[in-house]
Amino acid sequence: MINRITLTELFLQLLKKNIVPLSILPEIALFITNRKEFLRLTVQDEQFTEIQALFRDNNVSFSVKKIYSVYRGNTWYDIKFENQICDIDKEHIHYVRYLVCCTLGNNDPNTVLKAEEEGRIDDAGSLLGYPKCCINAIDELNNSGLKWPLLLMQKTKDQPNSYVNRLASVWGGTSFTGELFPCSLNCKNAIELGKSAEAALWELGLNRLAREIQYLSQRPIVVNKVNGNVQPLNETTINDLNLELQVPVFFK
- By CB under 5 A, which span of 5-13, 68-76, 182-190, 210-218 interacts with Zn ion? 182-190
Q: Of 23-42, which residues contact Zn ion (CB under 5 A)?
A: none
Out of 15, 85, 133, 146, the residue judged to bind Zn ion by CB under 5 A: 133
* Per-residue b or e along 205-231, where b marks 16 or more CB atoms closer than 10 Å to that residue's CB: ebeebbeebeebbbbebbbbeeebbbe
- By CB under 5 A, which span of 5-13, 17-25, 150-158, 176-184 interacts with Zn ion? 176-184
Out of 134, 135, 150, 185, the residue judged to bind Zn ion by CB under 5 A: 134
Parallel, antiparallel, or unpaired: how do β-strands 246-249 and 221-224 relate?
antiparallel
Which residue lies nearer to Zn ion by CB, 187 or 206? Answer: 187
Give, to the nearest 10 degrees, the angle between helix 25-32 and helix 188-203: 70
Which residue lies nearer to Zn ion by CB, 188 or 211? Answer: 188
What is the Cα–Cα distance from 18 to 101, expressed in whole angstroms? 18
- By CB under 5 A, which span of 31-39, 52-60, 64-72, 188-196 interacts with Zn ion? 188-196
Contacts of 56 (CB under 8 A, 6+ apart): none
CB of 164 to Zn ion, least distance (A): 8
CB of 136 to Zn ion, least distance (A): 8
What is the Cα–Cα distance from 213 to 189, expressed in whole angstroms? 19
Q: How many CB atoms lie within 10 A of CB 86?
A: 8
Nearest partner of 251 among 226, 218, 207, judged by Cα: 218
CB of 180 to Zn ion, least distance (A): 9
CB of 188 to Zn ion, least distance (A): 7
CB of 22 to Zn ion, least distance (A): 22
CB of 133 to Zn ion, least distance (A): 3
- By CB under 5 A, which span of 10-18, 61-69, 149-157, 185-193 interacts with Zn ion? 185-193
Whether the CB-CB separation of 76 and 94 falls below 8 Å is answered with no
What is the Cα–Cα distance from 2 to 74, expressed in whole angstroms? 40
Which residue lies nearer to Zn ion by CB, 25 or 187? Answer: 187
Out of 128, 183, 206, 230, the residue judged to bind Zn ion by CB under 5 A: 183
What is the Cα–Cα distance from 74 to 41, expressed in whole angstroms? 21
CB of 102 to Zn ion, least distance (A): 25
Which residue lies nearer to Zn ion by CB, 44 or 189? Answer: 189
131 binds Zn ion (CB under 5 A): yes
What is the binding site for Zn ion (CB under 5 A)? 131, 133-134, 183, 187, 189-190
